[in-house]
Chains A and B, each alone.
Chain A
Amino acid sequence: MVKEIERAGIPVVHMCTVVPISLTVGANRIVPTIAIPHPLGDPKLDPKEEKALRRKLVERALEALQTEVEDQTVFEMK
């Protein structure tokens, strides 16, 4: 899906936990996430902290979308 949407001419950032799979399916901009059943959250945190964590991940994804890349690039959390 990542590839076909990219092919349609829209930049895609893939947010996923198992980065090797993302690389194999051909995503160009990749942001690693927390865990398979909750990529954008962590039930161990209290709701406020959890949302702050999610926001950081989404902000990283937005940075990825604003970054020119020539090849598959993994945008680790800073």
Chain B
Amino acid sequence: MGKIKVVHYINQFFAGIGGEEKADHKPEVREEVLGPGLALKAGFKDEAEIVATIICGDSYFGENIDEAKKEILEMVKKYDPDLFIAGPAFNAGRYGVACGTIADAVQNELGIPSLTAMYEENPGADMFKKSLYIISTKDSAAGMRDAVKKIVPLALKLAKGEEIGTPDEEGYLPRGIRKNYFTDKRGSERAVEMLIKKLKGEEYVTEFPMPDFDRVPPNPAVKDITKATIAIVTSGGAVPKGNPDHIESSSAQKYGKYDIEGINDLTPENGETAHGGYDPVYANEDLDRVIPVDVLRDLEREGKIGKLHRYYYSTVGNGTAVANAKKFGEAIGKDLKEAGVDAVILTST
């Protein structure tokens, strides 16, 4: 067998094209090894070769999922690779969704073994961990070396059609696949052993982890919107000019509660965004593009809604830990409930 042919997918940032201002970069293919591809190449030694790198801006992908997918599939097809690798995406949400979407499509539509890599809280992980091998990485590019060390062996195994070990052995996120195997102890014995360990407070590993479905059933609809108090909440980092609470541009540790009494329109003078995960130019020009205060004021004046709640709540949803987002959500929900708010418009960028 000759060298394994690999096509690698990365975003505009890892390709060195630019940051958020270049996130609308359209899919492009280059016959060279770029960014994290260099580390992969070193890891592959002579076994595999990256024949092309496909680059796409994260916003372009997120806003044009179907078109981007089609364009990129065509590019991949041209090289007829033995293996497709996307990422690693770490905790970059749009990038993770792009990596998962495209690796899933290459695997299922072109029949080419694929894998990607990202942090377990990346939304792309939840979306695709069942259908794809996703190597579990740290939450930032500081984990690149560790990621590459796990990607390379799994990638080679996949390309060669070798047997894949368990998530623990290979370093991928559990896919919920059960495999039969023979063991010298029967179930009852193993169950009793587990129970004894549990009673002693020792560590034990379950053989069948319960899936964690956390869904909240929808609340009843608003009966009379013309009497309802509506509040705005956003993860788009909207803040009063100057960001008085210093909400972090990524991995936010807090949210803000801001009084908009008397404000009928957001302008570059009274509002801006603190978000570091998208190009802030448009939000800073007119923050109504993130939180529609102007329109809700009009609707309030026209009697189409009861009232726009006096405060809006905002945080930055950029690499923010799920645990923090949950905490913010709980506190905001409680506050809004106590204030008698009837419904919430939550905007995300």
Contacts and interface: CB of A to CB of B under 8 A. Distances in A.
Interface of A: 1-18, 20-22, 24-29, 33, 35-41, 43, 50-51, 54-55, 57-59, 61-62, 65-71
A26 B343 contact: no
A21 B318 CA distance: 13
B71 to A, nearest CB: 18
Interface of B: 20, 23, 59, 62-63, 65, 93-94, 97, 101, 123, 126-127, 214-223, 225, 228, 230, 233, 235-236, 278-283, 285-286, 288-292, 294-296, 298-299, 304-305, 315, 317, 325-326, 328-330, 332-334, 336-337, 341-349
A21 B349 contact: no
Contacts, number: 203
Contacts of A70: 218
A41 B121 CA distance: 29
Given A1-B329, A36-B59, A13 B344 contact: yes
Given A3-B329, A58-B345, A40 B59 contact: no
A20 to B, nearest CB: 6
Given A1-B233, A4-B332, A55-B298, A28 B218 contact: yes
Contacts of A27: 346
Given A61-B345, A65-B225, A66-B221, A37 B295 contact: no
Nearest to B315: A1
Contact of B295 (A9, A16, A54): A54
A16 B123 CA distance: 14
B285 A43 contact: yes
A54 B127 contact: no
Given A25-B123, A40-B289, A65-B222, 4 more contacts: A2-B329, A3-B214, A10-B343, A62-B299
The 3 nearest A-B residue pairs measured at CB: A4-B329, A8-B333, A41-B289
B349 A20 contact: no
